[in-house]
Chains A and B, each alone.
Chain A
Amino acid sequence: SQELEQSPQSLIVQEGKNLTINCTSSKTLYGLYWYKQKYGEGLIFLMMLQKGGEEKSHEKITAKLDEKKQQSSLHITASQPSHAGIYLCGADKGTGFQKLVFGTGTRLLVSP
C-alpha cells in the first residue's frame, strides 16, 4: 500500500520568512492533494496536482509535483500568522474519486 511521509514534522518560522514542506511517496504519485487543517477542525482543500512537473499557486502558496512523480513540495512565501496550521498531503490513484491516503502531516507555527 502507498505510504506518504512528510517533512518536517513540525516547523516554527518567523513571520515574513519562506518555508517548504515536502511529501514523499513510497509509490508513483498520480493524484496529489494538499490540505490545511486547523487544530481540531476540518480539512481545507488547497491544491491538486496530477502531472509530473506540474506547479500550481494560490496566493502565497505554491505546490509542485516532481518529474519522477514521487515527491511533492509546498512552498509558502512571506509567511503570515494565518498560514499556521497542519498541512496534509494526500494521494489517490489519479482517477479523482478513489480513496485518499494521507501523509503524516506538518505542523506549522508562524511567530510574530
Chain B
Amino acid sequence: EPEVTQTPSHQVTQMGQEVILRCVPISNHLYFYWYRQILGQKVEFLVSFYNNEISEKSEIFDDQFSVERPDGSNFTLKIRSTKLEDSAMYFCASTWGVGGYTFGSGTRLTVV
C-alpha cells in the first residue's frame, strides 16, 4: 500500500536553529499538507499546498515557516529560527482529492 514517508523520525535542535522536515507524498497525489501535534494536544492544521503554491495556512504558520516542493517528489517544511514552543510531532499528509488523506508517521521535533 502506498505510504507517505517522513524523515527524520526524530530531530533535536537548538533554539534559534533552522530545521527542515522532509516528506515524500504518495506519487499520484495532488494536495499536500503539514499538521502538528504538541504533546497531549489536538492535531492542528498548519498549511495546505496545491499546484506549487500555498492554498491555505493557519495562524500558526507565520513568517518563520515555509514550505517547498523542490522537485517532483519531496515536500518540505522549514522552520527558520526554532523556538521551544515549536517542539511537537509534525505530520505530512497527502490526497489526490477523493477518498481520504494519508498521513506519514511523523517527525518528532525537540527544540532545546
Contacts and interface: CB of A to CB of B under 8 A. Distances in A.
Interface in B4-33: 30-31, 33
Interface residues of B, number: 27
A43 B56 contact: no
Contact of B100 (A33, A98, A105): A33
B65 interface: no
Give the dominant DSSP class at A's interface: loop
Given A48-B99, A97-B97, A100-B101, A42 B91 contact: yes
A99 interface: yes
A45 B101 contact: yes
Interface in A35-64: 35, 40-45, 48
Contact of A42 (B50, B100, B103): B103
A96 interface: yes
Nearest to A38: B105
A97 B95 contact: yes
Contacts, number: 57
Classify chain A's interface size. 20 to 34
Contact of A88 (B33, B43, B58, B95): B43
A104 interface: yes
B56 A99 contact: yes
Contacts of A90: 43, 101
A42 B106 contact: yes
Interface in A3-53: 33, 35, 40-45, 48
18 contacts: A33-B100, A33-B101, A35-B103, A40-B89, A43-B103, A45-B101, A48-B99, A88-B43, A90-B101, A96-B97, A96-B99, A97-B98, A98-B56, A99-B58, A100-B43, A100-B93, A102-B42, A103-B42
